[in-house]
Amino acid sequence: MAYSKNTDAGLIVPKKWYESLPRPSWNRFEKVETSQPWFSVYETTPETYALYEDGQFEEVISYLVIGEDAAALIDTGNGIGDIKALVEELTDLPTIVVNTHAHLDHTGGNSQFEEIALYDHPWARERTKGRPKEGIDVGNYVSGEMVWKPIPRDVDPKTWHTDPFNVTRWMKEGDKIDLGGKQLEVIHTPGHTPDSVCLLESRERLLFTGDIFYPAPIYIYSPDSDMNEFISSFRKMVKADYDYAMPAHNETMVEKKVVEDVLNAIETIKAGKAGAYKTGVANGIKVRRFDYPRFALIVRDE
Protein backbone atom coordinates (compact mmCIF):
# COMPACT_ATOMS: atom_id res chain seq x y z
CA MET A 1 0.00 0.00 0.00
CA ALA A 2 1.32 3.46 -0.80
CA TYR A 3 0.01 6.94 -0.54
CA SER A 4 0.80 8.69 -3.81
CA LYS A 5 -1.55 11.54 -4.68
CA ASN A 6 -1.01 11.30 -8.41
CA THR A 7 -4.35 11.73 -10.16
CA ASP A 8 -3.17 10.50 -13.56
CA ALA A 9 -2.39 7.05 -12.15
CA GLY A 10 -5.68 6.88 -10.31
CA LEU A 11 -3.86 6.70 -6.98
CA ILE A 12 -5.18 9.85 -5.35
CA VAL A 13 -6.18 9.70 -1.69
CA PRO A 14 -9.97 10.06 -2.05
CA LYS A 15 -11.71 12.68 0.03
CA LYS A 16 -13.71 11.01 2.78
CA TRP A 17 -12.35 7.61 1.76
CA TYR A 18 -13.26 6.42 5.25
CA GLU A 19 -16.99 6.71 4.54
CA SER A 20 -16.80 3.24 2.97
CA LEU A 21 -15.63 1.80 6.29
CA PRO A 22 -16.05 -0.58 7.93
CA ARG A 23 -15.36 -2.88 5.01
CA PRO A 24 -18.10 -5.54 4.93
CA SER A 25 -15.62 -8.43 5.10
CA TRP A 26 -14.77 -7.54 8.71
CA ASN A 27 -18.29 -8.52 9.76
CA ARG A 28 -17.18 -12.16 9.60
CA PHE A 29 -15.14 -11.77 12.78
CA GLU A 30 -15.75 -11.02 16.42
CA LYS A 31 -14.59 -7.52 17.35
CA VAL A 32 -12.59 -7.31 20.58
CA GLU A 33 -13.03 -4.20 22.70
CA THR A 34 -9.80 -2.70 24.06
CA SER A 35 -8.58 0.51 25.68
CA GLN A 36 -6.74 1.51 22.48
CA PRO A 37 -9.26 3.22 20.15
CA TRP A 38 -6.68 3.80 17.42
CA PHE A 39 -6.92 0.06 16.66
CA SER A 40 -9.91 -2.04 15.67
CA VAL A 41 -9.16 -5.56 16.92
CA TYR A 42 -10.72 -8.76 15.57
CA GLU A 43 -10.15 -12.42 16.44
CA THR A 44 -9.77 -14.12 13.05
CA THR A 45 -9.00 -17.67 14.21
CA PRO A 46 -8.52 -19.00 17.77
CA GLU A 47 -5.94 -16.75 19.43
CA THR A 48 -4.96 -15.00 16.21
CA TYR A 49 -5.86 -11.31 16.26
CA ALA A 50 -5.92 -8.71 13.50
CA LEU A 51 -4.85 -5.28 14.81
CA TYR A 52 -6.38 -2.99 12.21
CA GLU A 53 -5.43 0.71 11.92
CA ASP A 54 -8.53 1.78 10.07
CA GLY A 55 -8.18 5.43 11.10
CA GLN A 56 -5.35 6.08 8.64
CA PHE A 57 -5.46 5.77 4.85
CA GLU A 58 -2.98 2.90 4.70
CA GLU A 59 -5.41 0.70 6.70
CA VAL A 60 -2.47 -1.27 8.05
CA ILE A 61 -3.12 -4.66 9.64
CA SER A 62 -0.69 -6.19 12.12
CA TYR A 63 -1.33 -9.64 13.59
CA LEU A 64 -0.88 -11.14 17.04
CA VAL A 65 -0.43 -14.92 16.92
CA ILE A 66 -0.60 -16.52 20.38
CA GLY A 67 0.91 -19.93 21.04
CA GLU A 68 1.17 -21.98 24.22
CA ASP A 69 4.56 -20.59 25.25
CA ALA A 70 5.00 -17.31 23.39
CA ALA A 71 3.33 -14.88 21.03
CA ALA A 72 4.43 -13.30 17.76
CA LEU A 73 3.43 -9.81 16.69
CA ILE A 74 3.58 -9.82 12.91
CA ASP A 75 4.51 -6.20 12.10
CA THR A 76 3.98 -3.21 14.38
CA GLY A 77 2.05 -0.85 12.13
CA ASN A 78 2.50 2.87 11.67
CA GLY A 79 3.79 3.68 15.14
CA ILE A 80 0.87 6.07 15.70
CA GLY A 81 -1.02 4.09 18.34
CA ASP A 82 0.46 2.31 21.37
CA ILE A 83 0.66 -1.19 19.94
CA LYS A 84 2.71 -2.51 22.87
CA ALA A 85 -0.02 -1.56 25.35
CA LEU A 86 -2.55 -3.24 23.07
CA VAL A 87 -0.53 -6.47 22.89
CA GLU A 88 -0.21 -6.53 26.68
CA GLU A 89 -4.00 -6.38 26.96
CA LEU A 90 -4.36 -9.41 24.71
CA THR A 91 -1.63 -11.66 26.12
CA ASP A 92 0.80 -11.88 29.01
CA LEU A 93 3.12 -14.24 27.13
CA PRO A 94 6.58 -13.13 25.99
CA THR A 95 6.19 -11.56 22.55
CA ILE A 96 8.58 -11.38 19.61
CA VAL A 97 8.01 -8.96 16.75
CA VAL A 98 8.32 -10.64 13.33
CA ASN A 99 8.42 -8.15 10.47
CA THR A 100 7.24 -9.08 6.99
CA HIS A 101 9.46 -6.29 5.60
CA ALA A 102 11.07 -3.06 6.75
CA HIS A 103 8.75 -0.38 5.38
CA LEU A 104 7.87 2.23 8.01
CA ASP A 105 4.15 1.34 8.10
CA HIS A 106 5.16 -2.15 9.29
CA THR A 107 7.99 -1.25 11.66
CA GLY A 108 6.60 1.97 13.17
CA GLY A 109 6.13 0.43 16.62
CA ASN A 110 9.25 -1.77 16.60
CA SER A 111 11.20 0.43 19.00
CA GLN A 112 8.73 -0.44 21.79
CA PHE A 113 9.83 -4.10 21.78
CA GLU A 114 12.97 -5.93 22.90
CA GLU A 115 12.77 -9.01 20.65
CA ILE A 116 12.56 -8.34 16.90
CA ALA A 117 13.03 -10.68 13.94
CA LEU A 118 13.66 -9.33 10.43
CA TYR A 119 14.86 -10.95 7.21
CA ASP A 120 18.62 -10.50 6.82
CA HIS A 121 19.19 -8.23 3.83
CA PRO A 122 21.31 -5.05 3.46
CA TRP A 123 18.19 -3.07 2.47
CA ALA A 124 16.48 -4.12 5.71
CA ARG A 125 19.53 -3.35 7.85
CA GLU A 126 19.53 0.23 6.54
CA ARG A 127 15.86 0.68 7.45
CA THR A 128 16.42 -0.16 11.11
CA LYS A 129 17.66 3.40 11.57
CA GLY A 130 14.09 4.75 11.66
CA ARG A 131 12.64 7.57 9.57
CA PRO A 132 12.79 11.27 10.53
CA LYS A 133 9.86 13.65 10.06
CA GLU A 134 11.67 15.13 7.07
CA GLY A 135 11.81 11.77 5.28
CA ILE A 136 10.11 11.55 1.88
CA ASP A 137 8.03 8.59 3.07
CA VAL A 138 6.45 10.54 5.91
CA GLY A 139 5.00 13.76 4.48
CA ASN A 140 1.41 14.28 5.66
CA TYR A 141 1.10 10.77 7.02
CA VAL A 142 -0.70 11.76 10.22
CA SER A 143 -2.66 14.77 9.05
CA GLY A 144 -5.15 16.04 6.47
CA GLU A 145 -7.00 13.54 4.32
CA MET A 146 -4.78 10.69 5.49
CA VAL A 147 -6.50 10.30 8.88
CA TRP A 148 -10.07 10.40 10.18
CA LYS A 149 -9.84 9.00 13.70
CA PRO A 150 -8.51 11.28 16.45
CA ILE A 151 -4.79 10.62 16.72
CA PRO A 152 -3.45 9.75 20.19
CA ARG A 153 -2.71 12.76 22.40
CA ASP A 154 1.03 12.08 22.53
CA VAL A 155 1.36 12.11 18.71
CA ASP A 156 2.23 15.52 17.21
CA PRO A 157 1.93 15.56 13.39
CA LYS A 158 4.62 18.25 13.28
CA THR A 159 7.24 16.07 14.96
CA TRP A 160 5.98 12.53 14.32
CA HIS A 161 8.65 10.06 13.22
CA THR A 162 9.65 6.42 13.63
CA ASP A 163 12.53 5.53 15.97
CA PRO A 164 15.52 3.26 15.30
CA PHE A 165 15.13 -0.31 16.52
CA ASN A 166 17.40 -3.23 17.35
CA VAL A 167 16.99 -6.56 15.55
CA THR A 168 17.71 -9.54 17.80
CA ARG A 169 17.12 -12.26 15.20
CA TRP A 170 18.07 -11.95 11.55
CA MET A 171 15.89 -14.44 9.69
CA LYS A 172 16.66 -16.54 6.64
CA GLU A 173 14.64 -18.75 4.28
CA GLY A 174 13.11 -21.76 6.03
CA ASP A 175 13.54 -20.49 9.60
CA LYS A 176 10.81 -21.50 12.04
CA ILE A 177 9.67 -19.39 14.96
CA ASP A 178 8.24 -21.75 17.57
CA LEU A 179 5.46 -20.36 19.76
CA GLY A 180 4.42 -23.65 21.32
CA GLY A 181 1.67 -25.47 19.42
CA LYS A 182 2.04 -22.96 16.60
CA GLN A 183 5.04 -21.98 14.54
CA LEU A 184 5.77 -19.48 11.79
CA GLU A 185 7.82 -20.68 8.83
CA VAL A 186 9.75 -18.00 6.94
CA ILE A 187 9.30 -17.94 3.16
CA HIS A 188 11.43 -15.30 1.41
CA THR A 189 9.17 -13.55 -1.13
CA PRO A 190 10.97 -10.53 -2.64
CA GLY A 191 9.27 -8.39 -5.24
CA HIS A 192 7.60 -5.73 -3.13
CA THR A 193 10.87 -5.15 -1.28
CA PRO A 194 14.05 -7.27 -1.37
CA ASP A 195 13.55 -8.33 2.27
CA SER A 196 9.87 -9.29 2.03
CA VAL A 197 8.79 -12.55 3.63
CA CYS A 198 5.58 -14.50 4.05
CA LEU A 199 4.98 -16.43 7.28
CA LEU A 200 3.25 -19.80 7.10
CA GLU A 201 1.24 -20.91 10.14
CA SER A 202 0.25 -24.49 9.35
CA ARG A 203 -2.05 -25.29 12.28
CA GLU A 204 -4.66 -22.73 11.23
CA ARG A 205 -3.52 -22.97 7.56
CA LEU A 206 -2.74 -19.26 7.26
CA LEU A 207 -0.15 -17.39 5.16
CA PHE A 208 0.74 -13.93 6.45
CA THR A 209 1.71 -12.08 3.28
CA GLY A 210 2.82 -8.60 4.31
CA ASP A 211 2.62 -6.26 1.30
CA ILE A 212 3.40 -8.65 -1.52
CA PHE A 213 -0.32 -9.47 -1.61
CA TYR A 214 -3.48 -7.68 -0.49
CA PRO A 215 -6.94 -7.27 -2.11
CA ALA A 216 -6.39 -3.75 -3.49
CA PRO A 217 -4.06 -2.05 -5.99
CA ILE A 218 -0.68 -3.80 -5.65
CA TYR A 219 2.29 -1.60 -6.55
CA ILE A 220 5.13 -3.19 -8.55
CA TYR A 221 6.66 0.00 -9.94
CA SER A 222 8.73 1.52 -7.11
CA PRO A 223 12.55 1.32 -7.05
CA ASP A 224 12.21 -1.31 -4.29
CA SER A 225 10.01 -3.57 -6.45
CA ASP A 226 10.97 -6.09 -9.11
CA MET A 227 8.46 -7.81 -11.42
CA ASN A 228 10.55 -10.94 -12.02
CA GLU A 229 11.07 -11.45 -8.29
CA PHE A 230 7.37 -10.75 -7.74
CA ILE A 231 6.43 -13.55 -10.15
CA SER A 232 8.91 -16.01 -8.60
CA SER A 233 7.60 -15.21 -5.14
CA PHE A 234 3.98 -15.75 -6.15
CA ARG A 235 4.89 -19.13 -7.58
CA LYS A 236 6.29 -20.05 -4.15
CA MET A 237 3.17 -18.68 -2.46
CA VAL A 238 0.86 -20.72 -4.68
CA LYS A 239 2.82 -23.91 -3.93
CA ALA A 240 2.61 -23.40 -0.15
CA ASP A 241 -0.04 -25.33 1.78
CA TYR A 242 -2.64 -23.00 3.33
CA ASP A 243 -6.27 -21.96 2.94
CA TYR A 244 -6.21 -18.21 3.59
CA ALA A 245 -3.85 -15.34 2.93
CA MET A 246 -3.55 -12.76 5.73
CA PRO A 247 -2.64 -9.46 4.05
CA ALA A 248 -1.25 -6.40 5.83
CA HIS A 249 -3.73 -3.84 4.44
CA ASN A 250 -7.48 -3.33 4.05
CA GLU A 251 -8.93 -6.82 4.56
CA THR A 252 -7.95 -10.15 6.07
CA MET A 253 -8.48 -13.89 5.50
CA VAL A 254 -8.57 -13.83 1.72
CA GLU A 255 -9.02 -17.20 0.06
CA LYS A 256 -5.95 -18.69 -1.64
CA LYS A 257 -7.71 -18.60 -5.02
CA VAL A 258 -7.17 -14.82 -5.17
CA VAL A 259 -3.40 -15.32 -4.74
CA GLU A 260 -3.51 -17.73 -7.65
CA ASP A 261 -5.42 -15.13 -9.68
CA VAL A 262 -2.72 -12.53 -9.03
CA LEU A 263 -0.05 -14.92 -10.29
CA ASN A 264 -2.01 -15.62 -13.46
CA ALA A 265 -2.55 -11.89 -13.99
CA ILE A 266 1.07 -10.81 -13.54
CA GLU A 267 2.33 -13.62 -15.81
CA THR A 268 -0.11 -12.43 -18.47
CA ILE A 269 1.08 -8.83 -18.05
CA LYS A 270 4.71 -9.94 -18.30
CA ALA A 271 3.89 -11.78 -21.54
CA GLY A 272 2.25 -8.65 -22.99
CA LYS A 273 -1.16 -10.33 -23.30
CA ALA A 274 -3.12 -8.65 -20.50
CA GLY A 275 -5.34 -6.39 -22.59
CA ALA A 276 -6.70 -3.00 -21.49
CA TYR A 277 -4.94 -0.83 -18.93
CA LYS A 278 -4.77 2.76 -17.69
CA THR A 279 -1.62 4.85 -17.92
CA GLY A 280 -0.34 7.50 -15.55
CA VAL A 281 2.58 8.82 -13.55
CA ALA A 282 3.12 7.85 -9.91
CA ASN A 283 5.94 9.36 -7.87
CA GLY A 284 7.59 10.46 -11.10
CA ILE A 285 7.41 6.98 -12.67
CA LYS A 286 5.33 6.14 -15.74
CA VAL A 287 2.97 3.30 -14.84
CA ARG A 288 0.28 1.03 -16.23
CA ARG A 289 -2.67 -0.06 -14.10
CA PHE A 290 -4.46 -3.36 -14.79
CA ASP A 291 -7.76 -3.82 -12.96
CA TYR A 292 -9.25 -7.17 -11.89
CA PRO A 293 -12.31 -8.04 -9.77
CA ARG A 294 -10.50 -8.37 -6.41
CA PHE A 295 -7.26 -6.44 -6.98
CA ALA A 296 -5.28 -4.26 -9.39
CA LEU A 297 -1.65 -4.45 -10.51
CA ILE A 298 0.34 -1.27 -11.14
CA VAL A 299 3.57 -1.81 -13.04
CA ARG A 300 6.20 0.35 -14.70
CA ASP A 301 5.32 1.51 -18.21
CA GLU A 302 8.40 0.20 -19.98
CATH number for the domain spanning 154: value is: 3.60.15.10
Question: What is the 8-class DSSP label of residue 27?
Answer: G
* 12 lies in some domain: no
Q: What per-residue confidence (pLDDT) applies to 4? A: 36
Is residue 190 pLDDT above 60, yes or no? yes
Q: State pTM to two decimals.
A: 0.93
* 288 lies in some domain: no
More confident: 98 or 154: 98
* 142 lies in some domain: yes
* 72 lies in some domain: yes
* 172 lies in some domain: yes
Angle between helices 256-270 and 227-239 (to 10 degrees): 150
- Per DSSP (E only), the strands in 33-168 are 40-45, 48-53, 60-66, 71-74, 95-98, 116-119
Residue 212: domain span = 17-217+225-273
- Count of domains for the chain: 1
Among left, alpha and beta (phi > 0; psi -120 to 50; other), residue 238 is alpha
What is the per-residue pLDDT across 66-91, written as a single tens digit (0 to 9) for each? Answer: 999 999 999 999 999 999 999 999 99
Is residue 3 pLDDT above 80, yes or no? no
Q: What per-residue confidence (pLDDT) applies to 302? A: 82
Mean pLDDT for the stretch of residues 211-232:
94
* 40 lies in some domain: yes
Mean pLDDT for the stretch of residues 18-36:
95
* 150 lies in some domain: yes
Is residue 10 pLDDT above 50, yes or no? no
* 166 lies in some domain: yes
Is residue 277 pLDDT above 70, yes or no? yes
In this structure, the number of other CB atoms found within 10 A of the CB of residue 185 comes to 17
